[in-house]
Structure 1
Amino acid sequence: MAISESPRQSLLPSFLYSPSSASRLFLGVSARTPAASPPAAPASFMVQSPSEPVKKIEMFSPAFYAACTAGGVLSCGLTHTAVTPLDVVKCNIQIDPAKYKNTSLGFRILLKEQGVRGLFRGWAPTLLGYSAQGACKYGFYEFFKKYYSDIVGPEYAVKYKTLIYLAGSASAELIADVALCPMEAVKVRVQTQQGFARGLSDGLPKLVKAEGTLGLYKGLVPLWGRQIPYTMMKFASFETIVEMTYKYAIPTPKDECSKPFQLGVSFTGGYIAGILCAAVSHPADNLVSFLNNAKGATVGDAVKNLGLWGLFTRGLPLRIVMIGTLTGTQWVIYDGFKVFVGLPTTGGAAPATPAK
C-alpha cells in the first residue's frame, strides 16, 4: 500500500510568501512596478514558501511498527475495559451456573449483591493486561506478516496470503498472551470471588503470596488455547472479509473511498470476524475461567465439572455479543489511529507487496 506524498498546505495567506500584485499594492508598490525592484523595507517581511512535503510514516519502518503498537494499546485496552460489566457477568455464569443461570439474572444478582460498582470489578487488571496484549498482538502481527511475506517472496505471499495472516497472527498472540496472563489471573479472581480482593493493588500481591509468581501463569496454556485460535480467526477472517467486501460489494476502489467509509468497512468486517472468534475460542475461554478460579484445578476437572456441552455453550450467547462488538470496535479504533497518523487502513482488494 503506497503512501502518497502531498505538498504541505500553508495555514498563512499566500501573499506572505510571494509578492503578488495585490500584496504589492498593499506594500505601496505599483502593480506595474517590475517585481525585481521591490522596496527594501517591505521585502524583509517576505517569507519563502515551504517546498518540502509533509513527512509521512514509511511503511514497515520502526515508526510504522511503533504506530501499530500504539494503535493496539488503544484498541484492546479501551474496548476490553469498556465491556467489563459484560465480562463480569460472563465469568460468573461460567463459574457458578447454578446461581447465575442467564445473562439478565446475572446482572440482577450482581447489582443486588454488589451494586453498580460490582459490575466494574477487575477494570484495572483488564486495562493493563489487555493494553499490553494489544500492543504485542497488533505490533507483532504487522511485523510477522511482513517477515513471513519476505521469506516466501512476493509471488507466494499473494498466493498464500491467508496462510501468512494465520501464521503472523498466531506468532503475535503467542507473545501477547505472556504479557496478558498475569493480569488475566488477577482479573478472574477479583471478578468471581467476592471478598478475595478489591482490585489490582491488593489482588496481585495476595495471589502471588498464595500461589507464587508461577501462579500468575497457571492459566497460560489454556489462554494460548483460547487466544491463539481466536486471534488467527480474528485477523485472517477480517482481512478476507474486507478484501471480499471491496472486491465484490463495493464498486469503488478502496483508495477512492472516503476514510469514514473505510472505517465503516473495518467495523463491519471486525464484527463478523468477532462472531467467528467467539465460537472458535469459547471452550478454551470456559477453561481459563474455571482454572483461574479454582486453586489446583486441572483441565480434567473442568471438563468433568462443565461437561462437553457446557464447555462449548455455557455463556456463549453473551460472549458472541461481547466479542462481536469488541472486535468490530477494536478494528475501528486501530484503523482510525492509523488514519490519524497518516497510514492506510488495514486490508483491501490487494495486499501490499513486500518491499525488498
Structure 2
Amino acid sequence: MPERKIPLYSTEYYATCTLGGLLACGPTHSSVTPLDLVKCRRQVDPKIYTSEIQGFKKIIAGEGIKGLFTGVGATFIGYSFQGAGKYGFYEIFKHYYSGLVGEEYANRYRTGVYLAASASAEFLADLALCPWEAVKVKTQTTIPPFAPGVVSGFNKFVATEGYAGLYKGLVPLWLRQIPYTMVKFSSFEAIVEQIYKQLPKSKNEYTSLQQTGVSFLGGYIAGIFCAAVSHPADVMVSKINNDRLKGESIGAATSRIYAKIGFPGLWNGLGVRIFMIGTLTGLQWLIYDSFKVYAGLPTTGGH
C-alpha cells in the first residue's frame, strides 16, 4: 500500500475511484461475454437454444471458440466507460448529497443518500454506455454476427441507423440500469454493514485482505437482488435494440414487443443472469475495493 494517503473527497480521490470503477467493470463484463451472448440471443428468440449449455455447443460448432466472444470489444469499451462513470460519480454524489442534507440526516437516512447518489451516477454513466450497448446487442443477436469487430460494427451501425440510432435504447437502458445500480450500491452498503455487525471485531480491526473478502461477499449477495430487479428491462433492451422498427417510438416498440412476448417473456433467461450478475457484482466490488486499498483508500461500506 502506498505510504502517502490520498485525501478523502479530493480531486485525486475521485479520480482514483473513477479509475477503480473502470478496472472493475470493463474486464469483468468482458469475461462473461459467452454467458451474455447466449442470454441475449435467448431473450430475442427463446427457441434458438434449449439451454445455455446447448447454446455454447451450437455456437462453438458453427463459429468456433471465438464465436463465444462475439461482441466482446463493444462490451469492454462500453462497460469500462460505464464503470468509470458509475463508481466515480457515485462517490461524488454520495458526498454531495450527504453534505446537502447535513451529517445528522445523512447518517439517519443514509440508504436514501445511497439511492439518490447511485441513481444520479448511473443516469450519467449510461450516456457513455448506450452507444456501445447498441452495437453489442446488434452484433450478438444477429446471426451471422452483424460485424466482425467493434470498429466495423460501430461504423456499420452508424451507416445504417445514424448516430441517433446509437441512443435508441437509452430509455430502456435507464430503466434497466438505474434500478439495478440503486439496488447494487444501496444493498451492498447495507449488507456489508450487517456483515460487520455480525463479526466479533470492528471493521478497522480486520486486515485489508479480510475487508476485501467482505466486499466480495456483500457484492455477490447484492448482485442477486440486482439481477431480479433489472431483468425485465434487460430483456426489453435486447428486444428493442434488435427489433425496433424504423421510425417507431420507444413506447410503441415496447408495447408491440410486450404484446408479443407477454409477462412471462420478460423473465426469460433469469437463471443465467442471476449467476452472471452475482459473480460480476462480487468481482467488481472485490476489484474496486482492492484498488482503493492499493491506492491508500479505505474499502467501501461498513463505516
Band of TM-score, shorter chain: over 0.9
Give, as a single letter, the amino acid of the residue that structure 1 aligns with 2:153.
G
Give, as a single letter, the amino acid of the residue that structure 2 aligns with 1:318.
V
**1:238 corresponding residue in structure 2:** 188
Structure 2 CA distance, aligned partners of 1:339 and 1:329?
15
Cα distance, 1:115 vs structure 2: 1.4
Cα distance, 1:291 vs structure 2: 0.6
**1:51 corresponding residue in structure 2:** none
Structure 1 CA distance, aligned partners of 2:64 and 2:192?
41
Aligned-pair identity (%): 58
- Equivalent residues, number: 296
**1:329 corresponding residue in structure 2:** 283
Q: Does 1:285 align with 2:237?
A: no
**1:204 corresponding residue in structure 2:** 154
**1:169 corresponding residue in structure 2:** 118
**1:302 corresponding residue in structure 2:** 257
- Structure 1 unaligned residues grouped into runs of 5+: 1-5, 9-53, 351-356
Q: Which has the higher contact order (CA 8 A, sep 6+)?
A: 2
Give, as a single letter, the amino acid of the residue that structure 2 aligns with 1:339.
V
String of CA shifts for 1:120-169, please: whole Å, max 9, x gaps.
01111101000000000000000000000000000000000000000000
TM-score for the superposition, normalised by structure 1? 0.82
The structure with the greater share of residues assigned to helix is: 2
**1:17 corresponding residue in structure 2:** none
Cα distance, 1:113 vs structure 2: 1.5
**1:85 corresponding residue in structure 2:** 34
TM-score for the superposition, normalised by structure 2? 0.96
Give, as a single letter, the amino acid of the residue that structure 2 aligns with 1:211.
E
**1:104 corresponding residue in structure 2:** 53
Task: Give secondary structure in 1 for the equivalent of 2:92.
Answer: helix
Q: Does 1:143 align with 2:97?
A: no
String of CA shifts for 1:230-255, please: whole Å, max 9, x gaps.
000000000000001101x2111100
Give, as a single letter, the amino acid of the residue that structure 2 aligns with 1:159.
R
Structure 2 CA distance, aligned partners of 1:164 and 1:316?
29
8 Å Cα contact 2:4-2:296 kept in structure 1: no
Give, as a single letter, the amino acid of the residue that structure 2 aligns with 1:246.
Y
Give, as a single letter, the amino acid of the residue that structure 2 aligns with 1:215.
G
Cα distance, 1:101 vs structure 2: 2.4
**1:44 corresponding residue in structure 2:** none
Task: Give secondary structure in 2 for the equivalent of 1:343.
Answer: coil
**2:221 corresponding residue in structure 1:** 272
Q: Does 1:219 align with 2:173?
A: no
Structure 2 CA distance, aligned partners of 1:145 and 1:201?
36
String of CA shifts for 1:81-139, please: whole Å, max 9, x gaps.
11111110110111111121221221121111111111001111101000000000000
Structure 1 CA distance, aligned partners of 2:136 and 2:149?
8
Cα distance, 1:55 vs structure 2: 2.6
In the TM superposition, structure 1's runs of 4+ consecutive aligned residues that sit over 4 Å from their partners are none
**2:206 corresponding residue in structure 1:** 257
- Structure 2 unaligned residues grouped into runs of 5+: none
String of CA shifts for 1:300-334, please: whole Å, max 9, x gaps.
122122211111x2000000000000000000000
8 Å Cα contact 2:17-2:87 kept in structure 1: yes
